[in-house]
Amino acid sequence: MRRYLSTTVNAGEVSKFTRAAKDWWKPQSNTGVGLLHQLNPIRVRYIREQVIQNFHLPIESDSAWPLKGKQVLDVGCGGGILSESLARLGATMTSVDPGAANIEAAKQHALTDDETAEINYLCATAEDLCKQEKTFDIVCALEVVEHVDDVPKFIHQLTQLVKPNGLLFMSTINRSALAYLTTIVAVEQILQLVPNGTHDWNKYIQPQELTGMLTQ
């Protein structure tokens, strides 16, 4: 039987992102949030398409609120970039992050729009929700697994949070030479789009590794 660490939260990784808390909604800042804003429309479109297909929704849902009535969890939500977009598609959002400053920034921004004001932001972790036996129709953990300790335990927690026949969306960076050149050499060191040290190539996960953890 595998022995897990007592927690998956890495305090050093959390501090990297709480330092940027005031800039989550400033895409032009050099804290890296601009890249997340650029990726967000692509991710939201993919999630919407998969939700319609998985839950056998009528095609007109694509132009309305396909997530209406769906309980959605955003793990490692940061300042709420993804959470707000999913809320506008009708989702009932619960969004968690271990960084209190991130949660506060997310709450404040969400209140500026009636469509996002009801997002349930919590300074919490996936582990906390598992202990409460919470489950959701859809769970998202985008660009999170490369920042946690004990990745297998974290993935196990995510799977426990998904209802039967629900959906789990994850994204991370492949541990490849190309990823090192682009995310660390180019993005961090040359272009300085994010602070140095944001990424650790050794914590990147290859697709087959992630698949293996999900099927254990």
Dihedral sign for Cα 135, 170, 103, 87, please.
negative
C-beta of residue 80 within 8 angstroms of C-beta of residue 121: yes
Q: Does residue 31 form part of some domain? A: yes
Domain membership of residue 17 (yes or no) is: yes
In which domain, by residue range, is 156 found? Answer: 11-55+62-174
Q: Residues 25-39: pLDDT tens digits?
A: 988 776 678 888 999
pTM, rounded to two decimals = 0.89
Asked if residue 195 belongs to a domain, the reply is: no
What pLDDT sits at residue 5? 45
CATH number of the domain enclosing 80: 3.40.50.150
Length of the chain: 216
Q: How many domains does the chain have?
A: 1
Asked if pLDDT for residue 21 goes beyond 60, the answer is yes
Residue 182, in any domain of the structure? no
